[in-house]
Structure 1
Amino acid sequence: MTTTPTQTPPPTTVPEVLKKARRRGVGRSDRGAALGFLAPNLLGFACFTILPIGASLVLSFFEWPLIGEATFTGLENFITLFTADPVFWQVVGNTFYFVGVYVLLNLIVSLSLALWLTSKVRWKGFLRFVFFLPVVSPIVANAVVWRLLYNQDDGLIAWFFQTFTGTSGPNWLGSSEWAMPAVIIMSVWAGFGYNMIIFIAGIEGIPKTLYEAAEIDGAGWWRRLVSVTLPMLTPSIFFATVMTVISSLQVFAQPFILTGGGPGSSTTTLVFYLYQQGFQGYEMGYASSIAWSLFLLIMVITFIQFRSQKRWVHYS
């Protein structure tokens, strides 16, 4: 029985060794340059994001009245928050009320306008600019203007109701029944433009051949919307939904400017309650426990959204 000799690889030549060494040297220098350029951002991220997050987690286990000595209490802040705080669960309900209605209205308005602005409409570029303008306007300025509009005595909305119905309309900011809808309406106006741009980009990225094939098969506008546009747009809808839910769970400026959390606690949200406990009540440890509760809530909701995307999001 004969055996074939094992073939040994040809020896590496000196030029090849030098080339590899140069490549390794260039790679190291590139990594060093990249780290040098990233260092300022990484340093800022560490100092102003990572360290405060870690400090807030540590603070959540302390009772710290800001002016005074911090006392370690373990999980006492969380236990008090979930079992003994008479306002916390109402605040959670207010937050979910805002999130549920706001996210739904935001997606409906932004998707409807995106469908309209991708059709054969005149001045579509100008209209996109106009609808997107509230997104880049300062939210505080928007809220101040809307507070004037909601004024019960001489606001534009009250004038409109008086002119066409003979009544001054709802007491938007002074009624616990209408205060949260007022905050939601203002928030939808200020925020739908971002998702509208996302949907416009998604619609314009759908291959035209799909619409042509649907037209050949006799599909009308509604059938093309249901069978082509919406299925192909599900990645954009998923992205918009996740980002809108996360941002709406952190709503603060709108109720702060419009209603101050009132009447009573009817428009107090989790971030607003955190602000009240930390910067008005000077209970920084308790405020940190609220912050971490909100963080965990956002993580759980986002995890559920990502787990459920397989059932309705189509990436092909």
Structure 2
Amino acid sequence: MTTTAAPPVTAPASASSRKRPGRGERHGSAYVFLSPWILGVVLLTLAPMAVSLYLSFTDYNLFDAPRWVGLRNYTDMFTADPRYGRSVGTTLLYVVVAVPLKLALALGVALLLRSTHRAKGFYRSAFYAPSLLGASMSIALVWRALYNDGGTVDEVLSSIGIHTGGWVADPHLAVFVVALLSAWQFGAPMVIFLAGLQQIPSDLYEAAALDGAGWWRRFVSVTLPMLSPVLFFNLVLETIQSFQVFTPAFAISGGKGGPADSTMFYTLYLYERGFSASHMGYASAMAWVLLLAIGAVTLVLFRTSRSWVFYTNEGA
């Protein structure tokens, strides 16, 4: 009797032996999915920045071809343009006033909302609502009407014997109208502060109370140190935004930075030089100086944060 050998059984290929896409194929797929973002960055951000940098070294009036002038725009900016200096001073005054005031209001309201138990959702929505309106032209015009001569604020102050004649027309008060508008829209930093406050352990407050600490000592020794990373985050964001303020100043001043250039903010003067006076090369130089200034201020904030910002996970 003859026996026939069974055919050899082939084991199924394991998952590890299957062909995997190479590193080049994976990178190629990633670049395909990233291509819309890459094109957007190149065409809408990097290319306009490069053109603006080139125009900052030229004399360009939007109608004729740019003419290379080297550093003349930059030297004129710092040596031959007194209005540029006033715009820098006005912007710095606004930043110094608006940012601390806005953060103080946001933190104060966040502390109140944290201790509120009834209708908490309603109060949060009500205080956040002004921020939803944004820096729109309509809101700025309403704000101008409130602080103008004969407006609501002027009438209220006049009823108690304080006669200002309207803040908008006063060169010493006009900039504070814009600062108050910014401070009124404190909803975004308030929400961030409220989220940070809810992360502070209640045990710290209980221990401080057992040691006899009052509400002010608990605020200084517990709340502020534990909230310092959130405070730093809000400070950086609000400072950067304040340097770029434009719409409220344009609406309140009627687009002219008045009275007596008291609301001639940096961006408003940049707009005037670029589009009203058709000195786009000069305006481009101003834009790059603003970019470098904001970068320098942000760097200073990060450097100084090492002495007052405390992270609970340090050394972990």
Q: Same fold (TM over 0.5)?
A: yes
CA–CA distance in structure 1, aligned partners of residues 25 and 160 of structure 2:
72
Residues 284/221 of structure 1: CA separation in 2 closer, same or farther (3 Å cut):
same
Name 1:246's counterpart in structure 2.
Answer: 240
Aligned counterpart for 2:216 among listed residues 222, 233, 237: 222
Instruction: Summarize deviations over 1:43-74 as a string: whole Å, max 9, x none.
Output: 12221111111111010010011111211011
Aligned counterpart for 1:174 among listed residues 153, 169, 178: 169
| Contact 1:110 1:195 survives alignment (8 Å) | yes
Name 2:180's counterpart in structure 1.
Answer: 185
Q: Is 1:76 paired with 2:83?
A: no
| Contact 2:114 2:198 survives alignment (8 Å) | yes
| Contact 1:152 1:168 survives alignment (8 Å) | no
The answer for unaligned runs of 5 or more in structure 2 is 1-12
Aligned counterpart for 2:262 among listed residues 260, 266, 289: 266
What is the SS of the residue equivalent to 1:218?
coil
Q: Is 1:39 paired with 2:35?
A: yes
Aligned counterpart for 1:125 among listed residues 116, 121, 124: 121
Q: Is 1:95 paired with 2:94?
A: no
| Contact 2:148 2:169 survives alignment (8 Å) | no
Name 1:275's counterpart in structure 2.
Answer: 271
State the superposition RMSD in angstroms.
2.0
Instruction: Summarize deviations over 1:89-148 as a string: whole Å, max 9, x none.
Output: 111100100000111111111111111111134222211111111112142221011112
TM-score with structure 1 length normalisation?
A: 0.88
The one-letter code matched in structure 1 to 2:36 is P
Residues 170/122 of structure 1: CA separation in 2 closer, same or farther (3 Å cut):
farther
Name 2:138's counterpart in structure 1.
Answer: 141
The one-letter code matched in structure 1 to 2:17 is L
The one-letter code matched in structure 1 to 2:145 is L
The one-letter code matched in structure 2 to 1:44 is G
What is the SS of the residue equivalent to 2:82?
coil
Query: Shift of residue 204 of structure 1?
Result: 0.6
Instruction: Summarize deviations over 1:2-33 as a string: whole Å, max 9, x none.
Output: xxxxxxxxxxxx958626x53x55x7666544
The answer for unaligned runs of 5 or more in structure 1 is 1-13
Name 1:86's counterpart in structure 2.
Answer: 82
Name 1:152's counterpart in structure 2.
Answer: 149
Aligned counterpart for 2:281 among listed residues 279, 285, 294: 285
Q: More helix per residue: 1 or 2?
A: 1
Residues 122/300 of structure 1: CA separation in 2 closer, same or farther (3 Å cut):
same
Name 2:7's counterpart in structure 1.
Answer: none
CA–CA distance in structure 2, aligned partners of residues 200 and 220 of structure 1:
21
What is the SS of the residue equivalent to 2:169?
coil
Residues 159/121 of structure 1: CA separation in 2 closer, same or farther (3 Å cut):
farther
CA–CA distance in structure 1, aligned partners of residues 77 and 119 of structure 2:
53
Name 2:225's counterpart in structure 1.
Answer: 231
Instruction: Summarize deviations over 1:154-210 as a string: whole Å, max 9, x none.
Output: x22123223333x653421111111111111112112x1111111111111112222
Query: Shift of residue 34 of structure 1?
Result: 4.1
| Contact 1:170 1:178 survives alignment (8 Å) | no
The one-letter code matched in structure 2 to 1:239 is F
What is the SS of the residue equivalent to 1:40?
helix
CA–CA distance in structure 2, aligned partners of residues 37 and 136 of structure 1:
33
Identity of aligned residues (%): 42
TM-score with structure 2 length normalisation?
A: 0.88
Name 2:188's counterpart in structure 1.
Answer: 194
CA–CA distance in structure 2, aligned partners of residues 77 and 293 of structure 1:
11
Aligned length: 297
The one-letter code matched in structure 1 to 2:75 is I
Name 2:207's counterpart in structure 1.
Answer: 213
CA–CA distance in structure 2, aligned partners of residues 283 and 68 of structure 1:
11
CA–CA distance in structure 1, aligned partners of residues 163 and 216 of structure 2:
40
The one-letter code matched in structure 2 to 1:85 is D
What is the SS of the residue equivalent to 1:87?
helix
CA–CA distance in structure 2, aligned partners of residues 203 and 118 of structure 1:
8
| Contact 1:94 1:269 survives alignment (8 Å) | yes
The one-letter code matched in structure 2 to 1:41 is W
CA–CA distance in structure 1, aligned partners of residues 267 and 42 of structure 2:
23
